[in-house]
Amino acid sequence: MAEGTERQRTEDDAPGDEPTVAVRVVRSGGFAGLRRTWAVDVDAADAGPWIALVEACPWDDCGSASARSASNPRGADRFSYRLSARVRGAERQADLAESDAVGPWRTLIDAVREASAREASD
């Protein structure tokens, strides 16, 4: 993913300026019970790698069992994740326990965190 291709939405964005890909990750729990949010919005020109990351995740396999697991993580001080993604207008959402945030989920979470950190440092 090219640096500088992500942008944060502002209130000045017109409705027609919707990004092609928007991903939000909310992590809660942990030792202090803190909640962190990372987000990335990508326009069409830079959407390819992000679409691949989103589509690699098993969204349809995140049913009520995963939601229960995320709300009651096994072990003390565990994190839970809520991911939401919009790709070309189609929206998806998943609730994951820390132990379920592996493979393509972990790749997507880490990519959003890194892109959000780059945006914050610009």
**Residues 41-56: pLDDT tens digits?**
999 999 999 999 999 9
Percent of the chain with pLDDT over 90: 58
The residue among 63 and 41 whose pLDDT is bigger is: 41
Q: How far from the centroid of its chain's Cα atoms is residue 75's Cα?
A: 23
Give the pLDDT confidence score for residue 63 in this predicted structure. 57
Q: Is residue 115 part of a domain?
A: yes
Q: Is residue 5 part of a domain?
A: no
Q: Is residue 10 part of a domain?
A: no
Q: What is the mean pLDDT of residues 15-28?
A: 83
Give the pLDDT confidence score for residue 112 in this predicted structure. 98
Give the pLDDT confidence score for residue 2 in this predicted structure. 35
How far is CA 104 from each of CA 14, 42, 58, rounded to the nearest angstrom?
Answer: 32, 19, 8
The model scores a pTM over 0.85: no
Q: Using CA atoms of 10, 13, 17, 18 in order, give the dihedral in degrees to the nearest 10.
A: 40
Q: Is residue 21 part of a domain?
A: no
Q: Is residue 56 part of a domain?
A: yes
The domain in which residue 72 lies consists of 26-121
DSSP per residue over 60-115, as a string?
GG--HHHHHHHHS-SSTT-EEEEEEEEETTEEEEEEEEGGG--THHHHHHHHHHHH
User: How many domains does the chain contain in total?
Assistant: 1
Q: Using CA atoms of 31, 96, 10, 54 in order, give the dihedral in degrees to the nearest 10.
A: 140
Confidence band of 75 (pLDDT split at 50, 70, 90):
low
Mean pLDDT of the chain: 81
Q: Is residue 105 part of a domain?
A: yes
The residue among 71 and 5 whose pLDDT is bigger is: 71
Q: Is residue 15 part of a domain?
A: no
